[in-house]
Structure 1
Amino acid sequence: MPQRENSGVLEEPRQVVRKFLARPQHEGVGAIVRRSIGRQEFELKYFDPFLVLDEFSVTAPAGFPDHPHRGFETVTYMLQGAVTHEDFEGHKGTIGPGDLQWMTAGRGLFTLRCLQLKEPRRVCSCGSTSPQNIRCKIEPRYQEISSKDIAEASKDGIKVRVIAGEALGTKSPVYTRTPTMYLDFSLKPGAHQQPIPLAWNAFVYVLEGEGIFGNSKSLPVSAHHLLLLGNGDGLEAWNRSSKTLRFILVGGEPIGEPLAQWGPFVMNTQEEIDQTIGDFENFVNGFEKARHWRSEAAVSHGF
């Protein structure tokens, strides 16, 4: 079968160094979650700069009870269906198939979130160890992009949605605080090469079909598998089946900061976590509006 690739030639293709099958588990109220990054049993609590990768399946009226956030960003990328999100700052909306929401929690946020696919949460890079560092000062921020506005490119049986970063000469308009690529590939029978900056960490998550990654002699990998990539200047992928292979390729510049996490709070030190818990319990430093707030969904569904 002929192989197709982009015009660039990789000098040091990245190999798959670890592989995990993300098995379904229950979370929230009636939600089914396949978690890969962020699972204790995988010994993969953190893959700098990414904290969690969840593939969600939620059927109404299931969802997630109101809960706080501080110190990280989340990306919600809908594969199918639609979900509604809401927070105490007055942000509210519904995202549908192919839509994207990039949320910076900053100093504090209290939300109800129902997700289909959750991009790794990542720490804001601030370089401070003070409890009053930039994490505690940035206001919550949203970037919501409808499916029709996400950059796309195609060539020789390869289609890519460029959520963040660049592929096939097409750049995403999405701003990311930490340099990041997030690419949704659909690959017909054939092959493709995608450059990745040498210093970045990167992984693949297979959504549909089966593919071969990193080494043409490797066994095919099917849906719901996470593949951590080693060092190199890019990824080689092959589809040797008759069905379309769909996978996401995510990469990011490591932050290299110390990490402390307690549930939905992510900081640099345990002292900062303690300060954040105190802020939330006392409704101060970004959590003032949480004192009397409940989402409409929580009220109507009894979450």
Structure 2
Amino acid sequence: MSTAAAVEEPRQVARKFLARPQHEGVGAVVRRSIGRFELRYFDPFLVLDEFSVSAPAGFPDHPHRGFETVTYMLEGAVTHEDFEGHRGTIKAGDVQWMTAGRGIVHSEMPAGPGTSRGLQLWVNLSSQNKMIEPGYQEFQSKDIATTTSPDGGVTVRVIAGQAMGARSPVSTRTPTLYLDFTVRARAAAPARQPVPPSWNAFVYVLEGEAWFGAGAAAEKVGAHHLALLGQGGDGVEVWNRSDDRPLRFLLVAGEPIGEPVAQLGPFVMNTEEEIDATVNDFECFVNGFEKARHWKSQAMMALDDVE
């Protein structure tokens, strides 16, 4: 399938935000576009961070419950470990789709010298899935489905869902589309992607400038900007109008859950009562957090030794 996928009514930009750098974790810098004051939630998405971290900074031991985290590395590497004994390193181009479910405590720290940069997306879970057992789907860069249009103008890496005839191996509990598009300079055609009309969708620009629409009505979205796309269209059409710079952007869309959201930091449930119960479970090491009582990551122990 070429980039001329059937998109009869492209969605337009409804709102856009610049994701400014802020400090998060221990010495890490993030650009947060979803989960900020102006955009607390974009059903089913809770947070989108573009993070940059260099050792010894990072995200030491912290808990989660009630949603999934999707970590997509752009450069460098991050070592992940949790209280279930799971440990591994996510390198440039790799994806980790972690289902926190009823509870996980883990750390995410840079592996090796230099700066590690990536994206982390939090995907909400419906009430029936919030207390499932935690689990992981991890894929190396070489295993991510990738395809290029016949004219070479558009390349897409399919993190979740399908695009241009390629399909991701990721299984999503909350139906989700997650695509990494690159449109070369002077590309004759745009990146086109169908999106179910009822789904919420956004674009996050990593490099270059994305153009939505044609002529005087076209809207430009620059690097580190999030563009929320309006409802009503059947897909997305994005142009690169630069003569010398490639455009790289993420297209993410998901089926809204439509349930109440109660959130306290890394805990996301449906009611304040469930949040109170979660805090109690975590503090008392019960109902999914039993192993947190005696667990400390190797990264945290190393930090303790330094101090």
Per-residue CA distance 1:66-115 (angstroms, 9 max, x = gap): 11110000000000000101110001110100000000001110011247
**Partner letter of residue 137 of structure 2?**
Q
Bigger strand share: 2
Normalization by structure 2: what TM-score? 0.91
The whole-number CA distance in structure 2 between the counterparts of 1:240 and 1:11 is 21
| Structure 2 unmatched runs, 5+ | 110-115
With over 3 angstroms needed to count, the CA separation of the structure-2 counterparts of 1:181 and 1:92, relative to structure 1, is same
The alignment partner of 1:66 has SS state of: strand
Per-residue CA distance 1:152-208 (angstroms, 9 max, x = gap): 010121100001011111111110001110000000123222111111000000001
Match of 1:84 in 2: 79
| Structure 1 unmatched runs, 5+ | 128-133
Aligned counterparts, 1:29-178, within 5 A: 29-40=26-37, 42=38, 44-114=39-109, 116-127=117-128, 134-136=129-131, 138-155=132-149, 156=151, 157-178=153-174
Percentage identity across paired residues of the two chains = 67
Match of 1:130 in 2: none
Counterpart of 1:184 (choices 155, 161, 180) is: 180
Match of 2:202 in 1: 203
The whole-number CA distance in structure 1 between the counterparts of 2:52 and 2:19 is 13
The alignment partner of 1:57 has SS state of: strand
Would the aligned equivalents of 1:16 and 1:214 in 2 still touch at CA under 8 Å?
no
Residue 120 of structure 1: how far off its partner (Å): 2.5
The alignment partner of 2:54 has SS state of: coil
The whole-number CA distance in structure 2 between the counterparts of 1:83 and 1:248 is 20
Residue 7 of structure 1: how far off its partner (Å): 2.9
Residue 219 of structure 1: how far off its partner (Å): 4.3
**Partner letter of residue 23 of structure 1?**
R
Would the aligned equivalents of 2:79 and 2:88 in 1 still touch at CA under 8 Å?
yes
**Partner letter of residue 67 of structure 1?**
H
Question: Structure 1 residue 25 and structure 2 residue 22: aligned?
Answer: yes
Match of 2:9 in 1: 12
Would the aligned equivalents of 2:67 and 2:268 in 1 still touch at CA under 8 Å?
yes
The whole-number CA distance in structure 1 between the counterparts of 2:255 and 2:213 is 20
The whole-number CA distance in structure 2 between the counterparts of 1:119 and 1:297 is 20
The alignment partner of 2:181 has SS state of: strand
Aligned counterparts, 1:231-270, within 5 A: 231=231, 232-241=233-242, 242-270=244-272
**Partner letter of residue 71 of structure 1?**
G
The alignment partner of 1:6 has SS state of: coil
The alignment partner of 1:279 has SS state of: helix
How many residues get paired? 290
Note the aligned Cα RMSD (angstroms): 1.5
The alignment partner of 2:133 has SS state of: coil
Segments of 4+ in structure 1 off by > 4 A?
none
Match of 2:112 in 1: none
Match of 1:221 in 2: 221
